[in-house]
């Protein structure tokens, strides 16, 4: 089960990121520190080796990163992190969630499409490997319990 990440988790989150992305794309602990220290960012950590970070503002949110360690993949961790992050986003009043994913990243693309994300734009040569980014959006169902802080 994913749980809320705190600043005490940034070393673990950076280690997962370093295992999941090639060196030029891996985020340092300082980047996690910077993001998680913001009041409008939340992170989730899966004990089996995955993490997700989301920034939210004015009814919209953006998935900043999602990473699962290679040895832990295809076990539902990415899907669980995404599902929990979307439920938490809805509970704090987020209506639409955006993300960027490389057109070359078939695994992530399939995961996002299965979760209901639809393509809404494209950023040419966005990534370090010069692949294009697909911008995707998911409109969330509101949970109707009133909004509360994450």
Ligand X SMILES: CC(C)(COP(=O)(O)OP(=O)(O)OC[C@H]1O[C@@H](n2cnc3c(N)ncnc32)[C@H](O)[C@@H]1OP(=O)(O)O)[C@@H](O)C(=O)NCCC(=O)NCCS
List residues binding ligand X (CB under 6 A). Answer: 20-21, 66-68, 73-79, 101, 105-108, 110-111, 114
Burial class (CB in 10 A: 0-12, 13-18, 19+), 73: middle
* Alpha carbon of residue 86 to chain centroid: 9
Burial class (CB in 10 A: 0-12, 13-18, 19+), 53: buried
Rg (CA), the chain: 15
Question: What are the residues facing 54 on neighbouring strands?
Answer: 42, 63
Report the C-alpha gap between 125 and 61 in whole angstroms. Answer: 23
Nearest distance, CB of residue 75 and ligand X, angstroms: 5
Nearest distance, CB of residue 69 and ligand X, angstroms: 7
Residue number with CB closer to ligand X (93 or 135): 135
Residue number with CB closer to ligand X (55 or 73): 73
Name the closest residue to ligand X (Cβ): 78
Report the C-alpha gap between 39 and 150 in whole angstroms. Answer: 9
Residue number with CB closer to ligand X (60 or 100): 100
Nearest distance, CB of residue 64 and ligand X, angstroms: 10
Alpha carbon distance, N-terminus to C-terminus of the chain: 17
Residue number with CB closer to ligand X (93 or 132): 132
Nearest distance, CB of residue 85 and ligand X, angstroms: 12
Nearest distance, CB of residue 135 and ligand X, angstroms: 11
């Amino acid at each position: 089960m994913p749980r809320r990440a705190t600043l005490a988790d940034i070393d673990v989150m950076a280690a997962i990121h370093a295992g999941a992305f090639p060196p030029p794309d891996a985020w340092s602990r300082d980047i996690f520190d910077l993001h998680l220290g913001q009041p409008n960012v939340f992170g989730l950590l899966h004990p089996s080796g995955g993490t997700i970070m989301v920034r939210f503002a004015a009814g919209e949110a953006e998935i900043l990163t999602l990473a699962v360690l290679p040895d832990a993949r295809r076990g539902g961790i990415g899907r669980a992190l995404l599902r929990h992050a979307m439920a938490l986003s809805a509970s704090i009043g987020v209506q639409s969630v955006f993300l960027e994913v490389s057109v070359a990243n078939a695994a992530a693309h399939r995961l996002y499409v299965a979760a209901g994300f639809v393509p809404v734009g494209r950023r040419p040569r966005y990534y370090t490997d010069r692949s294009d980014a697909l911008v995707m959006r998911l409109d969330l169902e509101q949970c109707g319990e009133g909004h509360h802080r994450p």
